[in-house]
Amino acid sequence: MIEHAMTDLDDTWNIGGKAGHFACLEVGFEAVEMPLTEDDIAIVNANWGSTHDRIIWQVIAGKIKREPKKWPLASLEALMAAAGKVQATYQENLMEKDTYLDHISGVQGAAEMAEAFLSAGRTMSIQTGVKRELVERVMVKIGMNPDWFKLILTSYEAGQLELMPKPEAAMARHILGQLAVKPERSVGVGDHLNDFLMYQAAGMVPVVVLTGHMDRPSARLHKVPATNVIEDISQLGRVVERLEAAA
């Protein structure tokens, strides 16, 4: 029996999260006259699920490595100042302005799915790379009920607990341990490869939603069963019914 669903937040419960984050990042890097390139976007995607601080540092380091003459940051202090300005501008657009929120909308049917899932005696949790304050803003914007979730763990809080970020299994295992749920009785839902790899490493049943980073070809490439790939989270109940019927 499936007892629990662990989910990502961005591009899982909402649509447009990826675009919203990139919009905030673009404003941040424009503030230091280091516009994002395709190579930078690849770095962001590869580090998705890590803290925003880490992503920004990785992008700046990648720029310097690729084009040291174009980005001659003369000292560690200059590097830290640039990263700090990007982060401050990014956070301002993410947390104070509506740059991010203007890009997102809720998934139709998600609330009905959640209520049905919980009414069957199951539980839900969230693991996410965004700060808790943003989780709260997103929930208000798209009409999510925080009471749906037994536990919410962000990458920032995971770092304080010295847990490795996605795609390592540590965050998922921590949540399962806190809720006393066995991994084989849990589904893990997310839109990014790092979500899938984390859930898989934790021994859970990974479910991919097509509202964010992954598409059907990439899901096939990483051997996600076709029956575990759904258009959006509103269809999660069908996956759970199929898994329980096959048990």
Among residues 185, 224, 225, 189, which one has the least CA distance to residue 207? Answer: 189
Q: Answer whether 22's CB lies under 8 Å from 138's CB.
A: no
For the cut 90, the answer to whether the pLDDT of residue 107 exceeds it is: yes
pTM: 0.86
Question: Nearest-CA neighbor of 174 among 151, 147, 197, 200?
Answer: 151
The closest of 173, 94, 125, 87 to 8, measured between CA atoms, is 125
Can you tell me the distance from the alpha carbon of 180 to that of 188, in angstroms, rounded to the nearest whole number?
Answer: 15
Fold category of 4-16+105-246 in CATH: Rossmann fold (3.40.50)
Average pLDDT over residues 184-197: 95
DSSP state of 132: H
Most confident of 3-7, 44-48, 51-55: 3-7
Cβ atoms within 10 Å, residue 89: 20
Give every CB contact of residue 238 below 8 A, 6+ residues apart in sequence: 230
Q: What residues does each domain of the chain span? A: 4-16+105-246, 18-102
pLDDT of 209 strictly over 70: yes
Sequence-separated (6 or more) residues with CB below 8 Å from residue 143: 106, 111
